[in-house]
């Protein structure tokens, strides 16, 4: 029987939506926005340089669209998703609630493995204060549990029966 806390963790009232997909084809190359992508068990997003190793806790990185607005407000300027170097932008669901949970995007099942902390490159990409503006708003790292295709507009939902 699940504990009361575990029962709470399995209850998310909302379903999110995938609103941006970005791939980085080579080291130092800018992110390239795409409308769909294929996700493999071995390497994460096909065509992304930092696809991670099979089973790695950081095969794919995600950020909440709502946090883009927060970072923009903290820096006093608009922030585009490609500057943050995350692969996926989702809206309408609390990404941190998906830590240690399996969730579905399109045909793909991911497992949230932990927060995606900002790196020192954010100071250059976002300008002075960029690193600190992104702290606590950096998103989520995930590993691939089930491969498949993802498309802009796909639902993002908690998987309560897949681990």
DSSP per-residue codes, 90-145: EESS-GGGGBTSEEEETTEEEEEEEE----THHHHHH-TTHHHHHTT-S-EEEEEE
Strand partners, 158: 103
Residue 86 belongs to what H/E stretch? Answer: none
* H and E: helices and strands count for the chain: 4, 11
Residue 52 is predicted with a pLDDT of 60
Cα–Cα distance, 110 to 93 (Å, whole number)? 15
> Which of the 8 DSSP states describes residue 30?
P
Band the pLDDT of 162: cuts 50, 70, 90. Answer: very low
Strand partners, 156: 16, 105
pLDDT in tens, 99-143: 999 999 999 999 999 999 888 888 888 899 998 988 989 899 999
Percent of the residues in the chain that have a pLDDT greater than 70, as a whole number: 87
CB atoms within 10 A of CB 19: 18
Residue 153 is predicted with a pLDDT of 98
pLDDT in tens, 1-40: 666 656 555 666 679 999 999 998 888 788 999 999 999 9
């Amino acid at each position: 029987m699940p504990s009361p806390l575990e029962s709470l963790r399995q209850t998310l009232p909302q379903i999110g939506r995938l609103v941006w997909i970005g791939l980085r084809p080579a080291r130092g190359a800018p992110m390239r926005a795409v409308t769909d992508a294929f996700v493999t068990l071995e390497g994460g997003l096909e065509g992304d340089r930092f696809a991670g190793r099979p089973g790695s806790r950081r095969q794919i990185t995600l950020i909440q669209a709502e946090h883009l607005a927060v970072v923009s407000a903290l820096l006093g300027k608009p922030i585009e998703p490609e500057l943050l170097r995350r692969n996926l932008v989702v809206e309408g669901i609390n990404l941190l609630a998906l830590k240690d949970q399996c969730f579905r995007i399109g045909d793909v099942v991911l497992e949230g493995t932990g927060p995606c902390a900002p790196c020192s490159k954010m100071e250059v990409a976002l300008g002075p204060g960029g690193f600190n503006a992104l702290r606590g708003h950096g998103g989520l790292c995930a590993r691939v549990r089930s491969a498949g295709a993802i498309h802009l507009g796909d639902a993002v939902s908690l998987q309560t029966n897949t681990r």
